[in-house]
Structure formats: structure tokens, C-alpha cells
Amino acid sequence: MEMVSEAKELPRRRLIYGVLYLLLLIFPFKAGPYWTDVATFFGIYVLLGLSLNIIVGEVGLFNMGHAAFYALGAYTTGILNTVWGIPTIWLLPVSGLVAGGFGYILTRPIIHLRGDYLLIVTIGLNEILRITLINDPWGLTGGPNGVLGIKRMRLGSLVINRPIHFYFLVLIVTTLVVVVLLRLQRSRIGRAWNYIREDEVAAEAMGIDVRSMKLLAFVLGAALAGIAGSIYATKMMIISPESFTFWESIVLFTIVILGGMGSIPGVIVGSAVMMVLPELLRDFMQYRMLFFGAAMVVMMVFRPQGLWPSKRWQLEMGRETEE
């Protein structure tokens, strides 16, 4: 496609990204199991952030209950594995499908709600699911204890149990997801999502089936979150409702906005801020979260477009400062 400045820049950017990716491949061999594990959890957050970014960033739907889909994936894996003994490797895609399916069923009746009404409903769905998991209605979810004894994934003779295995599992899945999202961003579907975010009425007048496109985004986002949940379940081997609270949803929401709506590198930066900043502030001891809250405000005030906004935003902000 024709974007003159981009064409010139492309080889250099490709090189930078290539080198960065190479570093990711070498990382676990140099870092030791602890940091590999830290990176794995970070990767799971990136995956969750990317999945929410489809809904919030690309389509502009306010979803503050994303942890519900994450939980659905984790519990699908947990329950099917411990009750029926289905190998967890198969459950990776199954969890995605189940979470996506629930995403469809749950959001279909509410997809027409605007902005903040959708926001409270997604919060409600998150809470309904969490409380249901705790109350353990059919003895499936283990109540507040959750599901335990989830088996590791097995690929032929390889059991995915060491930190480095999980690291590469997450890296592979995340890479795939990034490729999928990049391609979607530059497709008819991705553009349609952006049109809806920019102006729903105009998008509809342009012949975009707004309802279906919104649902598609929700289903895809839910399915990816479900896959992240499945990985989390086999990594932890035990899952409980307290990992899927409203607070978790807020963290994910913040990751997307802080990084920059609709921006894939933004999600990575946002996850890093939300996970690493509290650790860096550790020296401040009890003042840690105080600084963290203040930092959130300061970051938004000085970079309302996010830390690494998608290219269009940069373009626009650049213009505005020129004026």
C-alpha cells in the first residue's frame, strides 16, 4: 500500500523488531527460571491486553469485565481436565471456543447498549460469574477453593512444566495472536471496527453491520482471553475465583488505555507499566501504591493518547502541537 514515508521506514523498523524478537528467543536461556516465569506471566497479561484491545481499542466498546472471559477459559480447562480427564493440550483451543461461545451468548442481548451502560453490564457479568464460581452451584467449580490438580500439557513425550516451556508456549501463542491482529488491522474487518469506534451511525450508513461486527470483536476478544486463561490454568495447576475479580478487569482495561487504544506495542508497554512499575516502586514500601496511583494520573494527563499510541494518533497529536 502506498504510504510513502512508511515505505522508507519499513526496513529499519523490521530490523529493530527482528533484533528485539531475537532477544526474546535468547532471554530464557540467560535469565534463569525465576525471571523466565516472570516473563511468562507478563506474556499472559500481554495476551489478555491484546484480547481486550480488540474490544476496547479497535471497536471502542467499554468492557470492564474482561476477567470473566479469562475465568471462563481457565475454568473450562480446569473442569474438563479434572472431571473428565481430557488432556490439557486439547483444552487450549477448546477453552478459547467455550469462552468465545459464552462471549457470544452473554453479549448478544446487551450489544446495543451504549458506552457507560455497556460498562456497568460488563462489570455485572464479571461479578455474576465470579460469585457463581464461588457459590459452586453444581459442585463443578470448587467454590472459593477453585479447581485443583489440573494436569500439565503434554506434547508427545514433552511435558510442558518447566518455566522455559511455558515461556515458549506463551511466546508462540502471543506471536500468533500479534500476527493475526496485525493482519486484521489492515483488513476490511479491522477497518470496519475502527469505523464503528469513530462514528457508529456513519459506519452503519456505510453499510457496516454494526451489531455483527461488535459481536465478532467480543467473541474474538473473549476467545483469546479464554486461551490465556487456559495457559494460566495449566501453569498454576490450580485456579480460584480470586484470580478473576473486578480488579483484574480494571487492570486489563488500564493496560489498554495506558498503552494507547488500538495499539499493539501499546498493550505491551501498558502491561509492562502495570506489572513492572509496582515492582520498581517496591523501595518506597508503604508509599508504593500511592505513587502508583499518582503515576497513573500523571501518565494520562501528559499522554492522554497513551504511552505508545497507534500511528494515526501520533500523526494527529503531532499536528495539534504544530498548530
Judged by CB under 8 A, the chain residues 164 through 223 that form the site for other proteins are 180, 183-184, 187-192, 194-195, 198-199, 201-210, 216, 220
Output the nine-digit C-alpha cell for 220.
474474538
According to the binding rule CB under 8 A, does residue 28 interact with other proteins? no
CB 55 within 8 A of CB 119: no
Q: Which stretch in 10-18, 67-75, 95-103, 306-314 sits in contact with other proteins by CB under 8 A?
A: 306-314
Minimum distance from CB of 95 to other proteins (Å)? Answer: 18
Contacts to other proteins from residues 66-105, by CB under 8 A: none
CB 228 within 8 A of CB 72: no
According to the binding rule CB under 8 A, does residue 114 interact with other proteins? yes
Minimum distance from CB of 237 to other proteins (Å)? Answer: 4
CA distances from 49 to 58, 89, 247, 282 (A): 12, 23, 14, 24
Residue from the set 14, 21, 145, 172 that interacts with other proteins by CB under 8 A: 145
**Residue count, binding to other proteins (CB under 8 A):** 99
Contacts to other proteins from residues 226-265, by CB under 8 A: 235-238, 240, 242-243, 246, 250, 253-254, 257-258, 261
Residue from the set 21, 29, 90, 117 that interacts with other proteins by CB under 8 A: 117
Minimum distance from CB of 25 to other proteins (Å)? Answer: 20
Minimum distance from CB of 73 to other proteins (Å)? Answer: 16
According to the binding rule CB under 8 A, does residue 7 interact with other proteins? no
Residue from the set 85, 115, 139, 156 that interacts with other proteins by CB under 8 A: 115
Contacts to other proteins from residues 267-296, by CB under 8 A: 285-287, 289-290, 292-296
Greatest CA span in the chain, whole angstroms?
64
